[in-house]
């Protein structure tokens, strides 16, 4: 930079016009404020230089400056070209400004560059990111030419809004697909909690082989394996990731760590954590602490937290959820209180709903229901269904009708459609012999047409995950499954009858 300043001084002393080239050199460093000062010295800057400065601001997340420069450009009667508008649309999307976006869209149409595919795609992407999907789809439908990136942008918009059905419809219409197309769908399903479909899409991608999974694809599908407990598929994905050199990507290695932890392979998760080594970020530490907590290794979780502090990694709110959870599973009420009370004074982290929920669960499991209820009453925010659900669950364990009724009353207001709350309270009444309460709840459920949802489970077999609902016949091989079960039941019945007969014979002989 000093060298460029010397060149600038030399050109000024000798009357040499080198400003345009100097701006481009300074932007490569980059020193955007200095480049802008040089830019202001030019009497008649070109649209090319405006675009270079716009791109620099956009690339470094300085979107307000980007739009401010555009205003200056218009004030100076310069007409933006097809390279200017994509940068402006991106700035509007990043600033979540629909009004500015529509204004620039209007200017874009008047400019005559509205047939540029790249600029049109950026416009579509802007509307999609702003959540204006009707405008994005209108733009998509009116485009005369569409590239793969255009399709991907529209699909990503639907996925971001949670409309995976329309995303899938559009995906099915694509003339060509690339790795981004597949990854967008996998990521969309995973982020919207449709883990089985995310995994199904990944397996389909492998089968069709028109694109190879990249680091982002792997990082997107691993949470699906973790949440479904699809350990065997997760192992194969890990092998592919390592073979392809993707394990070096921290998102991928953290995903593998989380997958093993959620699948119950805590020792392998710890090996992965140790292998990540100096690359570990807060997400890595949190995943490992949470894994140890959930698997009852409470002391190890607390020791790992101390180690995290010694290496200079500060905790966040997720860390404390894991720590209090470890105390819950270890029955360490006093330690849990200490951790909860240290959050704000020692680390500047105000407890959130999740932390109060963990504390209610900790106190409730220990039978300290009155303290748990008082904590809920003293919360600085309104308790949600998770908080009251934790108290109700604790009341069920300890058979406490008084606090169960208080928790259930709030739950009936928050989620009147949820049958589980009625069933739990009914069971508490039954355990206490209060049959009037049981009858009253059944009447309420019947009158409100509240029915218990059918249970379901996922089973991984030969690299595929199958979903089974109670009395389900939707599986393509349900006839074979039920036939096999019937044979199994027949054998069990025969075995039981034979044993019964043998026992009777023994009695007679005796």
pLDDT digits (tens, 9 = 90+) for 97-142: 888 888 888 778 777 666 678 888 988 999 999 999 999 999 999 8
Domain membership of residue 323 (yes or no) is yes
Q: How far apart are CA 340 and CA 324, in angstroms?
A: 7
- pLDDT score of 108: 80
Percent of the residues in the chain that have a pLDDT greater than 90, as a whole number: 56
Q: Above 80 in pLDDT, residue 163?
A: yes
Q: Report yes or no: 276 and 253 within 8 Å, Cβ to Cβ.
A: yes
Domain membership of residue 307 (yes or no) is yes
Residue range 197-229, pLDDT digits in tens: 999 999 999 998 889 999 999 999 999 999 999
The separation between the first and the last C-alpha atoms of the chain, rounded to the nearest angstrom, is 105
At residue 440's C-alpha, the angle toward residues 438 and 444, to 5°, is: 115
CB-side neighbour CA atoms (13 Å) of 467:
12
Last residue of one domain, picked from the residues 234, 257, 280? 280
Q: How far apart are CA 156 and CA 187, in angstroms?
A: 9
Q: Among 57, 59, 60, which Cα is nearest to 71's?
A: 57
Q: Above 70 in pLDDT, residue 335?
A: yes
Q: How far apart are CA 217 and CA 395, in angstroms?
A: 44
Residue 463, phi-psi category: left (phi > 0), alpha (psi -120 to 50), beta (remainder): left
Distance from CA of residue 444 to its chain's centroid?
37
Query: How many other β-carbons are positioned within 10 Å of the β-carbon of residue 50?
Result: 22
Q: How far apart are CA 464 and CA 456, in angstroms?
A: 16
Domain membership of residue 61 (yes or no) is no
- pLDDT score of 6: 58
Q: Among 38, 94, 26, 25, which Cα is nearest to 66's?
A: 94
Domain membership of residue 91 (yes or no) is no
Q: Above 50 in pLDDT, residue 18?
A: no
Q: How far apart are CA 9 and CA 14, in angstroms?
A: 9
Q: Which domain holds residue 235?
A: 210-280
Q: How far apart are CA 145 and CA 118, in angstroms?
A: 10
Paired tokens of 123: 């416009």
Q: Are 295 and 328 in the same domain?
A: yes
Q: Are 221 and 274 in the same domain?
A: yes
Average pLDDT rounded to a whole number, residues 486-494? 76
Last residue of one domain, picked from the residues 307, 334, 351? 351
Domain membership of residue 471 (yes or no) is no
SS3 content of the chain, % helix, strand, coil (to 5): 75, 0, 25
Domain membership of residue 105 (yes or no) is no
Q: Report yes or no: 119 and 108 within 8 Å, Cβ to Cβ.
A: yes
Q: How many domains does the chain have?
A: 2
Domain membership of residue 259 (yes or no) is yes
Query: How many other β-carbons are positioned within 10 Å of the β-carbon of residue 507?
Result: 8
Q: Are 262 and 215 in the same domain?
A: yes
Q: For residue 30, is the peptide bond before it cis, meaning its omega torsion is within 30 degrees of 0?
A: yes
Residue range 277-329, pLDDT digits in tens: 999 999 999 999 999 999 989 999 999 999 999 999 999 999 999 999 999 99
- Name the residue with higher pLDDT: 487 or 153: 153
Q: How far apart are CA 266 and CA 440, in angstroms?
A: 45
Domain membership of residue 42 (yes or no) is no
Q: Are 288 and 260 in the same domain?
A: no
Q: Are 251 and 310 in the same domain?
A: no
Q: Above 90 in pLDDT, residue 479?
A: no
Q: Are 234 and 286 in the same domain?
A: no
Q: Above 70 in pLDDT, residue 457?
A: no
Paired tokens of 108: 């874009």
Determine which of 19-23, 92-96, 100-104, 235-239 has the lowest per-residue pLDDT on average: 19-23
What contacts 485, CB < 8 A, 6 or more positions away? none
Q: How many residues does the chain have?
A: 510
Q: Tokens 């308790």 sit at which residue?
A: 383
Q: How far apart are CA 8 and CA 140, in angstroms?
A: 47
Last residue of one domain, picked from the residues 229, 259, 280? 280
Q: Facing residues of 464 across strands? A: 461
Q: Are 295 and 325 in the same domain?
A: yes
Q: Are 291 and 270 in the same domain?
A: no
Q: How far apart are CA 487 and CA 493, in angstroms?
A: 10
Paired tokens of 41: 């010295």
């Amino acid at each position: 930079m000093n060298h460029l300043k010397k060149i600038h001084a030399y050109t000024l002393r000798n009357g040499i016009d080198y400003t345009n080239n100097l701006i481009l050199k300074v932007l490569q460093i980059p020193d955007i404020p200095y480049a802008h000062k040089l830019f202001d010295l030019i009497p008649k800057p070109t649209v090319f230089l405006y675009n270079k400065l716009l791109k620099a601001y956009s690339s470094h997340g300085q979107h307000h400056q980007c739009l401010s420069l555009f205003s200056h450009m218009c004030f100076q009667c310069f007409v933006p070209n097809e390279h200017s508008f994509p940068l402006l649309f991106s700035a509007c999307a990043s600033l979540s400004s629909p009004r500015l976006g529509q204004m620039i869209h209007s200017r874009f149409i008047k400019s005559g560059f509205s047939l540029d595919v790249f600029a049109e795609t950026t416009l579509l992407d802007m509307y999609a990111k702003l959540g204006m999907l009707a405008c994005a789809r209108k733009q998509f439908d009116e485009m005369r030419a569409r590239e793969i990136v255009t399709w991907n942008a529209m699909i990503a918009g639907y996925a971001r809004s949670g409309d995976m059905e329309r995303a899938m419809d559009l995906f099915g219409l694509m003339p060509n697909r690339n790795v981004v197309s597949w990854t967008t769908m996998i990521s969309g399903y995973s982020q919207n909690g449709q883990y089985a479909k995310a995994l199904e899409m990944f397996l389909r991608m492998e089968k069709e082989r028109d694109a190879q999974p990249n680091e982002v694809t792997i990082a997107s599908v691993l949470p699906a394996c973790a949440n479904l407990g699809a350990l065997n598929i997760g192992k194969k994905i890990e092998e592919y990731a390592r073979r392809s050199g993707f394990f070096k990507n921290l998102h991928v290695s953290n995903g593998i760590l989380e997958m093993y932890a959620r699948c119950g392979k805590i020792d392998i998760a710890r090996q992965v954590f140790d292998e990540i080594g100096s690359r570990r970020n807060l997400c890595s530490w949190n995943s490992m602490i949470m894994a140890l907590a959930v698997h009852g290794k409470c002391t190890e979780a607390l020791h790992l937290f101390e180690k995290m502090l010694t290496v200079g990694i500060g905790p966040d709110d997720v860390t404390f959820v894991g720590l209090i959870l470890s105390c819950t599973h270890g029955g360490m009420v006093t330690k849990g209180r200490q951790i909860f009370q240290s959050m704000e004074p020692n680390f500047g982290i105000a407890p959130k709903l999740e932390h109060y929920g963990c504390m209610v669960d900790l106190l409730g499991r220990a039978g300290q229901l009155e303290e748990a209820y008082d904590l809920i009453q003293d919360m600085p925010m309104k308790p949600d269904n998770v908080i009251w659900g934790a108290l109700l669950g604790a009341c069920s364990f300890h058979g406490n009708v008084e606090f169960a009724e208080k928790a259930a009353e709030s739950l009936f207001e928050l989620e009147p459609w949820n049958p589980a709350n009625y069933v739990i309270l009914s069971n508490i009444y039954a355990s206490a012999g209060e049959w009037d309460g049981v009858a009253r709840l059944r009447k309420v459920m019947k009158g409100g047409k509240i029915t218990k949802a059918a249970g379901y489970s996922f089973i991984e077999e030969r690299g595929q995950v199958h979903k089974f609902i109670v009395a389900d016949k939707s599986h393509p091989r349900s006839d074979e499954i039920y036939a096999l079960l019937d044979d199994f039941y027949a054998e069990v019945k025969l075995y039981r009858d034979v044993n019964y007969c043998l026992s009777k014979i023994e009695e007679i002989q005796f």
